[in-house]
C-alpha cells in the first residue's frame, strides 16, 4: 500500500473532486480528501485538519486562487498549495513539474507527485509556493527548469519560443548551429526537411491534443533516444468554456530515454536469444520461477502438447497433469539445494505413454530453473528389442547346442566358438582363427560346393548361406554338419563380416541314408530293389548312347520250382534260400555291377562295360555252376536251379523297362526249353511277345463283342463225336471252341486259351461256352430221340476250375437251359485236367463232390501227361478217364505206350471209371483200344470237330468205322 495523503481540493467547477483524487490514487497514494467550492468553505476546512497540501484548479478565477493564498498565509498553516491546470474531465492528476519542498515533512509527498507527473507531462503546470512571493516562485521555477537534464520549452501559437532551457538548446539546436533566444521561430530555425514534421507536432498540440513522440538521433553529443511530450497551454484569461479552452501555446518536454531504450533493447535481445536457443532444442524445454510457475516454454514443447507458449507463462507447475512424475521431479529439484539433476519419467502425449529423460539446471542465482525433456521412447524400445534379441539368440544357441563362427572379412580372422571346436573333437586352444581351420576339414567332395555357396552369399546372389557337408573329426571320421551363416554388409552392400552356426546332423543324415537305402533295397536280401535297378539300368542306357562301344547286359534269373520249396518247406526256409542264393552269387558280380532282387524268386544282374555277349553267358554259366551244390537250410539240403534270360543293349533301348521285359521273355524261353539253362533274347522272342500282346488285345475285343450276343460274333463251337468202341454208336460230343479272327482267320484254342487263362478272360468266355454247350445238348436230346442218350463234355481250364463260384455258375446254367429237369438222364460232362486239380487237391475234391450232386459227370482230361501218379486217381470222384492222345498216337510203334494205356484202363476199371481214348486217327488205333478194353474212342478216324448243323447229317449217316 502507498503512502497516505490528506488533500484539500478547491474546485468550484468540478462536481466531484474525486476525479483529481483517482489520478493520485493510481499513483499509489491513499487519499483523505475534501472538496470545497468557495473561500468560506475553504477557510473552515483549512482549519479543521492537518492537510498535506491544497489543490486548486487553475481554471478557478484569480480571485479564488488569490483568496485561497491569502487565507493560507493568514492562517499561518504551513501547507503547500498546488495549482493545477488542465482539463479536469481527464482522469489524470495534474501536478507541478517540479517542486521545492517548502519545509518539513511534506517534501517527499510533493516529490512523489512530481514523479507521478513525469509520466504524464502533457499538462502544463505551475507550482505556487504559498509561502513565497510570485517573483520568487518564478525564479525558482526558472532555476528548476534550467537545472533539469530534460529539455523543456514552450511556444506560442506562432511557434515562437517562450520558455526554454539549455538542455533544449543543447539537444535540439546546437547540432544545427543555432543559438536560441526568446521569441525565435522554432520551426524556421530547423533544417528544411524537419520543418513540416515539427510544424505538424506543434499544430497538433495547438489543436488541444496531448501526445508524445519518440525521436531517435545518431548524432554525437545528443541523446540517441528522446521522448518528446507536447501539451497545449490553456489560456488563463479565456472564457470559462471548459469544453473549448483557448490554447495559448504548447509546452514541450523532451526526455532523454536512451538508457531506457538501450536497456529495453538489450533485454529484448537477450530474451529473444534465450527463446531462440531454446526453440532450437529438439526436446521439451520449460523454465520455472522459484515459486514453481512457468516462465516460459520452447516451441518444441508447445507443439508437443499442442498449446501456445503464452498459455504457459505464469501457470502453476503441473497444471497440464500430463505427467505427475515430471511435476514431482521439478518441485523436488527447485526446492532442493541441487544445481542440476536428471531423471527418466513417463508422460502421456496425445494419449500415448512415452518415456522422457529430463534434465534440470538452475540459473539466475538459483531463482529459476530450466528443465529439458528428451523423448527416449524409441531409443528405449530399440534397446529393449536389442536386448531381447540378444537373449533370444543366446538361448537359441545354448538350446541348439550349435557351434558358432564369426568371420571378420577385413582381417580374414575367424572366431570359432569352443563348442564349434568341441564338435570336431578339439579343445579350445587346438584350433586357431584362420578360415583354413574350417575349409581344410571339409570333406573334399563337398569343399568346392561349400566355397561356391559362400561366395554366392557374399556376392549377394543368395539370401543366406546354408549347406550340409561333412567335416573331418579329430578321430579322422567324418561327421555331417549343417553350416549356416549370414553376412553383415556395409552401406555399399559389401560384406565385411559373416557369422553363422554349425549343427551336427550326423544322426539325421544316417536316418536319411537308411531311409534312402530302404527305399532302394530289398529288405530280405539287402540287394538293390527294382527301383534302384531300373535307375541304374536307365543310366547305363544313357551312357551307351553317349559312349560308342559301351555295352551292357541284363541277366534275368528265376528259380525253377521255388514254389515247391515254399510249399513243402515253408516260407521261412524259402526266404532263407533266397538270402543264401544272394550271398552265394554276390562274389560272382563284379564291383560296380548291380545285383537286384525284383521280388519273389526273381533276380536281375546288370553287367556294364562288357566286351561282347560272352561276358554275359560266362556269368550265366558261373551262376548255374554255383547253384549245383546244395544249400543247407535248417540242417536240410535244398537243391535249386535257375532259368536265366539275357538281354544285351544292342537293341537300342530307350526305357529300362524294355530291357528288363526282354530279359524276362528270354528267361521264359529258357524255362520253356527245359529250365536250368539260359537263353539270349532275340527278336523272334520279341515278336512272339508282341504277337501275344496283340492276341490279348484282340481277345478282349472279341469277348466284348461276343458278350453283346450279336450275330457277328467271332466265337463258334465245334463238337467232336465220342464213339462207343463196342457198339460203334455215337455216345456224345466234346465241345471245342473256335475263334474266327477278323483278319487272322481261325485261331487255334491252343494259342488263345492260355492267353485267356492268363488274363482272366477265360471266365466270361467259359460261361458262354458252358451255356452254348448246354443249349446244344438240350436241342439234340429233343431232335435225336433215336440216338439217346447223347452227352456233351465241356472243357474247364485251370483258372475256370479255381473260380470260387464255379458250382453256382454251373447249377445256374443247368437251370436256365432246363437241363436239370425231366426224366432224361442229365448228360453234361466236365473235362478237367490233372494240373487243375493238383493246384489244390483238397479244395478240388470238395468241389468235385459238390458238382456231382448236380448230376454232372466228371472226366479227367489229358491223363498221363501230368506229374501225378496213377494212385492219385482214387482220391478224386471222377467218372471217366480220358487218355491223352500222345499215348494213343504211339500205339503200335511204342510198347511202353501200350503198357501205360493198359495200366490206365485197368486202374480206371478197378476204380469203377470208364475210359475215353483221345486222338484215334487210324483203324489200328481203334483195334488196339478195343483190344485194351477202352470203352470209348475220339479222333479224326471217327470225325473231326463238327459245326452244330453238321451233327444231324453225321448222325443219320451209316457209320463207316465199324
**Is 244 in a helix, a strand, or coil?**
coil
Q: How far is CA 321 from CA 301, 317, 347, 368, 562, in A?
A: 14, 9, 9, 21, 99
Contacts with ligand C2E, 872-911, as mask; x by CB under 6 A: -------------x--------------------------
Contact by Cβ (8 Å): 229, 121:
yes
Taking contact as CB under 5 A, which single stretch among the options 76-84, 210-218, 686-694, 794-802 is the one that binds Ca ion?
794-802
Rounded to whole angstroms, the Cα distance separating 754 from 797 reads: 9
- The nearest distance, CB 734 to Ca ion, in angstroms, is 6
Strands 30-36 and 4-10, sheet pairing: parallel
- Neighbour count for residue 918 (Cβ, 10 Å): 22
Selection from Ca ion, ligand C2E, none that 415 binds (CB < 5 to 8 A by kind) is none
User: Based on CB atoms, which residue is closest to ligand C2E, 560 or 831?
Assistant: 831
- The nearest distance, CB 737 to Ca ion, in angstroms, is 11
Taking contact as CB under 5 A, which single stretch among the options 70-78, 239-247, 702-710, 861-869 is the one that binds Ca ion?
861-869
836-875 binders of ligand C2E (CB under 6 A)? 861-862
**Is 199 in a helix, a strand, or coil?**
helix
The answer to the question of residue 862 lying near Ca ion (CB under 5 A) is yes
The answer to the question of residue 834 lying near Ca ion (CB under 5 A) is no
- The nearest distance, CB 705 to ligand C2E, in angstroms, is 18
Helix axes 656-672, 683-707, angle to 10 degrees: 90
The answer to the question of residue 795 lying near Ca ion (CB under 5 A) is yes
Taking contact as CB under 5 A, which single stretch among the options 140-148, 405-413, 795-803, 920-928 is the one that binds Ca ion?
795-803
Taking contact as CB under 6 A, which single stretch among the options 153-161, 203-211, 601-609, 918-926 is the one that binds ligand C2E?
918-926
Selection from ligand C2E, Ca ion, none that 422 binds (CB < 5 to 8 A by kind) is none
The correct pick among 576, 735, 817, 868 for binding ligand C2E (CB under 6 A) is 735
Contact by Cβ (8 Å): 481, 504:
yes
User: Based on CB atoms, which residue is closest to Ca ion, 525 or 795?
Assistant: 795
- The nearest distance, CB 731 to ligand C2E, in angstroms, is 15
Residue 725 grid cell? 468202341
802-831 binders of Ca ion (CB under 5 A)? 831
Taking contact as CB under 6 A, which single stretch among the options 171-179, 346-354, 366-374, 938-946 is the one that binds ligand C2E?
938-946
**Residue number, nearest CB to ligand C2E:** 939
DSSP 8-state secondary structure symbol assigned to residue 794: E
Phi, psi (rounded to 5 degrees) for 106: -75, -10
- The nearest distance, CB 923 to ligand C2E, in angstroms, is 13
The answer to the question of residue 750 lying near ligand C2E (CB under 6 A) is yes
User: Based on CB atoms, which residue is closest to ligand C2E, 601 or 861?
Assistant: 861
Contact by Cβ (8 Å): 884, 905:
no
- Neighbour count for residue 540 (Cβ, 10 Å): 25
- The nearest distance, CB 757 to ligand C2E, in angstroms, is 8
45 closest CA partner among 71, 18, 19, 24 = 71
Count the residues of the shown chain that bind ligand C2E, applying the rule CB under 6 A.
22
Taking contact as CB under 6 A, which single stretch among the options 59-67, 214-222, 544-552, 915-923 is the one that binds ligand C2E?
915-923
Q: How far is CA 313 from CA 75, 288, 307, 370, in A?
A: 57, 9, 12, 14
795-814 binders of ligand C2E (CB under 6 A)? 795-797
Residue 722 grid cell? 465220342
User: Based on CB atoms, which residue is closest to ligand C2E, 58 or 885?
Assistant: 885
The answer to the question of residue 945 lying near ligand C2E (CB under 6 A) is yes
952 closest CA partner among 726, 740, 733 = 733
110 closest CA partner among 29, 185, 34 = 29
User: Based on CB atoms, which residue is closest to ligand C2E, 176 or 940?
Assistant: 940
The Cα angle at residue 707 between residues 706 and 708, in degrees rounded to 5 = 90
Residue 604 grid cell? 536281375
User: Based on CB atoms, which residue is closest to ligand C2E, 454 or 762?
Assistant: 762
513 closest CA partner among 575, 468, 447, 578 = 468
Rounded to whole angstroms, the Cα distance separating 720 from 937 reads: 11
Selection from Ca ion, ligand C2E, none that 451 binds (CB < 5 to 8 A by kind) is none
Query: Is residue 478 left, alpha or beta, with left meaning phi > 0 and alpha meaning psi from -120 to 50?
Result: beta
User: Based on CB atoms, which residue is closest to Ca ion, 757 or 862?
Assistant: 862
- The nearest distance, CB 654 to Ca ion, in angstroms, is 44
Count the residues of the shown chain that bind Ca ion, applying the rule CB under 5 A.
4
Contact by Cβ (8 Å): 475, 505:
no
Rounded to whole angstroms, the Cα distance separating 20 from 53 reads: 13
Selection from ligand C2E, Ca ion, none that 21 binds (CB < 5 to 8 A by kind) is none
The answer to the question of residue 720 lying near ligand C2E (CB under 6 A) is yes
Selection from Ca ion, ligand C2E, none that 945 binds (CB < 5 to 8 A by kind) is ligand C2E
- The nearest distance, CB 918 to Ca ion, in angstroms, is 5
DSSP 8-state secondary structure symbol assigned to residue 629: S
- The nearest distance, CB 795 to Ca ion, in angstroms, is 5
Contacts with ligand C2E, 593-622, as mask; x by CB under 6 A: ------------------------------
DSSP 8-state secondary structure symbol assigned to residue 373: E
Rounded to whole angstroms, the Cα distance separating 24 from 5 reads: 9
Helix axes 530-546, 656-672, angle to 10 degrees: 110
**Is 92 in a helix, a strand, or coil?**
coil
- The nearest distance, CB 845 to Ca ion, in angstroms, is 21
**Is 832 in a helix, a strand, or coil?**
strand
Q: Is the peptide bond before 719 cis (omega within 30 degrees of 0)?
A: no
Taking contact as CB under 6 A, which single stretch among the options 163-171, 574-582, 791-799, 908-916 is the one that binds ligand C2E?
791-799
The answer to the question of residue 861 lying near Ca ion (CB under 5 A) is yes
Selection from Ca ion, ligand C2E, none that 414 binds (CB < 5 to 8 A by kind) is none
Which uninterrupted H or E stretch holds 668? helix 656-672
- The nearest distance, CB 866 to ligand C2E, in angstroms, is 13
Selection from Ca ion, ligand C2E, none that 537 binds (CB < 5 to 8 A by kind) is none
User: Based on CB atoms, which residue is closest to Ca ion, 76 or 750?
Assistant: 750
Strands 730-741 and 946-947, sheet pairing: unpaired
User: Based on CB atoms, which residue is closest to ligand C2E, 282 or 750?
Assistant: 750
Taking contact as CB under 6 A, which single stretch among the options 293-301, 524-532, 542-550, 919-927 is the one that binds ligand C2E?
919-927
- The nearest distance, CB 675 to ligand C2E, in angstroms, is 23
Q: How far is CA 125 from CA 22, 213, 795, 911, in A?
A: 18, 20, 162, 177
Selection from ligand C2E, Ca ion, none that 575 binds (CB < 5 to 8 A by kind) is none
Residue 269 grid cell? 535481445
Strands 828-833 and 857-863, sheet pairing: parallel
The answer to the question of residue 939 lying near ligand C2E (CB under 6 A) is yes
Query: Is residue 695 left, alpha or beta, with left meaning phi > 0 and alpha meaning psi from -120 to 50?
Result: alpha
The correct pick among 749, 754, 866, 959 for binding ligand C2E (CB under 6 A) is 749
User: Based on CB atoms, which residue is closest to ligand C2E, 215 or 948?
Assistant: 948
Rounded to whole angstroms, the Cα distance separating 495 from 459 reads: 8
**Is 354 in a helix, a strand, or coil?**
strand
Q: Which residues here bind ligand C2E, judged by CB under 6 A?
A: 720, 735-737, 748-750, 753, 769, 795-797, 831, 861-862, 885, 919-921, 939-940, 945
Q: Which residues here bind Ca ion, judged by CB under 5 A?
A: 795, 831, 861-862
Amino acid at each position: 500500500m502507498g503512502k497516505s495523503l490528506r488533500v484539500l481540493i478547491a474546485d468550484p467547477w468540478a462536481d466531484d473532486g474525486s476525479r483529481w483524487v483517482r489520478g493520485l490514487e493510481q499513483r499509489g497514494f491513499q487519499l483523505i480528501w475534501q472538496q470545497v467550492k468557495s473561500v468560506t468553505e475553504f477557510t473552515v476546512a483549512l482549519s479543521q485538519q492537518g492537510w498535506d497540501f491544497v489543490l486548486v484548479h487553475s481554471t478557478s478565477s484569480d480571485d479564488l486562487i488569490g483568496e485561497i493564498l491569502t487565507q493560507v498565509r493568514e492562517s499561518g498553516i504551513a501547507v503547500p498549495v498546488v495549482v493545477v491546470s488542465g482539463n479536469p474531465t481527464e482522469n489524470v492528476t495534474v501536478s507541478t513539474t517540479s517542486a521545492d519542498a517548502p519545509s518539513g515533512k511534506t517534501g517527499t509527498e510533493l516529490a512523489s507527485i512530481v514523479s507521478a507527473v513525469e509520466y504524464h507531462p502533457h499538462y502544463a503546470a505551475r507550482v505556487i509556493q504559498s509561502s513565497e512571493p510570485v517573483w520568487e516562485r518564478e525564479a525558482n521555477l526558472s532555476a528548476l527548469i534550467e537545472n533539469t537534464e530534460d529539455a523543456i520549452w514552450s511556444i506560442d501559437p506562432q511557434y515562437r519560443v517562450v520558455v526554454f532551457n539549455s538542455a533544449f538548446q543543447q539537444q535540439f539546436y546546437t547540432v544545427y548551429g543555432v543559438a536560441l533566444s526568446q521569441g525565435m521561430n522554432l520551426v524556421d530555425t530547423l533544417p528544411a526537411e524537419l520543418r513540416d514534421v515539427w510544424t505538424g507536432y506543434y499544430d497538433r498540440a495547438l489543436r488541444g491534443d496531448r501526445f508524445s513522440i519518440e525521436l531517435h538521433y545518431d548524432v554525437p553529443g545528443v541523446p540517441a533516444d528522446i521522448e518528446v511530450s507536447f501539451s497545449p497551454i490553456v489560456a488563463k484569461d479565456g472564457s470559462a468554456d471548459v469544453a473549448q479552452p483557448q490554447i495559448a501555446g504548447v509546452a514541450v518536454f523532451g526526455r532523454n530515454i536512451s538508457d531506457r531504450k538501450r536497456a529495453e533493447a538489450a533485454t529484448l535481445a537477450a530474451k529473444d536469444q534465450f527463446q531462440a536457443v531454446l526453440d532450437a532444442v529438439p526436446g521439451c524445454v520449460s523454465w520455472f520461477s522459484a515459486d514453481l510457475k512457468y516462465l516460459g516454454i520452447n516451441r518444441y514443447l508447445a507443439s508437443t502438447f499442442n498449446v501456445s507458449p503464452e498459455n504457459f507463462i505464469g501457470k502453476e507447475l503441473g497444471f497440464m497433469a500430463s505427467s505427475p512424475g515430471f511435476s514431482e521431479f521439478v518441485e523436488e529439484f527447485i526446492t532442493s539445494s541441487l544445481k542440476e539433476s536428471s531423471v527418466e519419467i513417463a508422460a502421456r502425449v496425445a494419449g500415448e505413454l512415452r518415456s522422457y529423460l529430463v534434465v534440470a539446471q538452475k540459473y539466475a542465482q538459483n531463482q529459476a530453473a530450466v528443465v529439458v525433456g528428451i523423448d527416449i521412447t524409441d531409443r528405449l524400445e530399440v534397446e529393449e528389442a536389442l536386448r531381447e534379441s540378444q537373449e533370444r539368440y543366446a538361448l537359441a544357441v545354448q538350446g541348439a547346442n550349435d557351434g558358432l563362427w564369426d568371420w571378420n572379412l577385413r582381417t580374414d580372422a575367424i572366431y570359432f566358438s569352443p563348442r564349434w571346436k568341441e564338435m570336431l573333437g578339439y579343445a579350445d586352444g587346438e584350433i586357431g582363427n584362420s578360415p583354413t581351420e574350417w575349409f581344410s576339414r571339409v570333406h573334399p567332395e563337398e569343399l568346392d560346393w561349400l566355397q561356391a555357396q559362400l561366395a554366392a552369399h557374399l556376392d549377394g546372389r543368395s539370401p543366406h548361406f546354408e549347406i550340409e557337408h561333412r567335416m573331418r573329426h579329430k578321430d579322422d571320421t567324418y561327421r555331417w554338419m549343417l553350416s549356416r551363416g549370414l553376412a553383415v554388409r556395409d552401406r555399399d552392400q559389401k560384406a565385411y563380416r559373416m557369422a553363422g552356426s554349425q549343427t551336427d546332423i550326423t544322426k539325421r543324415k544316417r536316418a536319411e541314408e537308411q531311409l534312402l537305402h530302404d527305399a532302394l533295397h530289398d529288405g530280405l536280401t539287402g540287394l538293390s530293389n527294382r527301383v534302384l535297378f531300373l535307375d541304374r539300368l536307365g543310366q547305363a542306357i544313357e551312357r551307351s548312347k553317349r559312349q560308342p562301344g559301351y555295352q551292357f547286359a541284363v541277366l534275368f534269373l528265376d528259380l525253377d520250382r521255388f514254389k515247391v520249396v515254399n510249399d513243402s518247406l515253408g516260407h521261412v526256409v524259402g526266404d532263407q534260400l533266397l538270402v543264401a542264393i544272394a550271398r552265394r552269387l554276390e562274389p560272382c558280380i563284379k564291383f560296380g555291377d548291380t545285383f537286384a532282387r525284383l521280388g519273389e524268386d526273381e533276380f536281375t544282374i546288370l553287367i556294364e562295360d562288357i566286351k561282347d555277349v560272352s561276358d554275359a553267358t560266362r556269368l550265366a554259366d558261373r551262376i548255374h555252376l554255383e547253384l549245383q551244390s546244395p544249400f543247407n537250410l535248417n540242417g536240410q539240403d535244398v537243391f535249386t536251379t535257375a532259368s536265366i534270360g539275357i538281354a544285351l543293349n544292342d537293341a537300342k533301348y530307350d526305357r529300362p523297362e524294355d530291357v528288363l521285359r526282354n530279359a524276362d521273355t528270354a528267361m521264359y524261353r529258357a524255362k520253356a526249353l527245359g529250365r536250368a539253362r539260359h537263353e539270349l533274347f532275340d527278336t523272334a522272342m520279341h515278336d512272339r511277345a508282341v504277337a501275344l500282346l496283340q492276341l490279348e488285345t484282340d481277345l478282349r475285343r472279341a469277348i466284348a463283342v461276343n458278350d453283346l450276343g450279336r450275330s457277328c460274333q467271332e466265337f463258334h463251337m465245334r463238337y467232336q463225336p465220342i464213339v462207343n468202341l463196342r457198339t460203334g454208336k455215337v455216345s456224345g460230343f466234346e465241345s471245342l471252341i473256335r475263334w474266327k479272327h477278323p483278319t487272322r482267320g481261325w485261331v487255334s484254342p491252343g494259342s488263345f486259351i492260355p492267353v485267356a487263362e492268363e488274363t482272366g478272360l477265360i471266365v466270361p468266355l467259359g460261361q458262354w461256352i458252358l451255356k452254348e454247350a448246354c443249349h446244344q445238348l438240350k436241342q439234340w436230346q429233343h431232335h435225336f430221340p433215336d440216338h439217346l442218350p447223347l452227352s456233351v463234355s465241356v472243357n474247364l481250364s485251370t483258372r475256370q476250375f479255381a473260380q470260387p463260384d464255379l458250382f453256382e455258375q454251373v447249377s445256374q446254367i443247368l437251370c436256365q437251359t432246363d437241363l436239370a429237369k425231366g426224366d432224361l438222364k442229365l448228360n453234361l460232362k466236365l473235362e478237367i485236367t490233372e494240373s487243375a486239380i493238383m493246384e489244390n487237391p483238397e479244395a478240388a475234391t470238395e468241389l468235385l463232390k459238390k458238382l456231382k450232386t448236380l448230376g454232372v459227370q466228371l472226366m479227367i482230361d489229358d491223363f498221363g501227361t501230368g506229374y501225378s501218379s496213377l494212385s492219385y486217381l482214387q482220391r478224386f470222384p471222377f467218372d471217366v478217364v480220358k487218355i491223352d492222345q500222345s499215348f494213343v498216337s504211339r500205339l503200335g510203334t511204342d510198347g511202353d505206350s501200350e503198357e501205360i494205356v493198359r495200366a490206365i484202363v485197368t486202374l480206371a476199371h478197378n476204380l469203377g471209371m470208364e475210359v475215353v481214348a483221345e486222338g484215334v486217327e487210324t483203324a489200328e488205333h481203334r483195334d488196339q483200344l478195343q483190344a485194351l478194353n477202352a470203352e470209348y474212342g475220339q479222333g479224326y478216324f471217327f470225325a473231326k470237330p463238327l459245326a452244330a448243323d453238321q451233327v444231324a447229317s453225321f448222325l443219320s449217316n451209316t457209320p463207316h468205322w465199324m
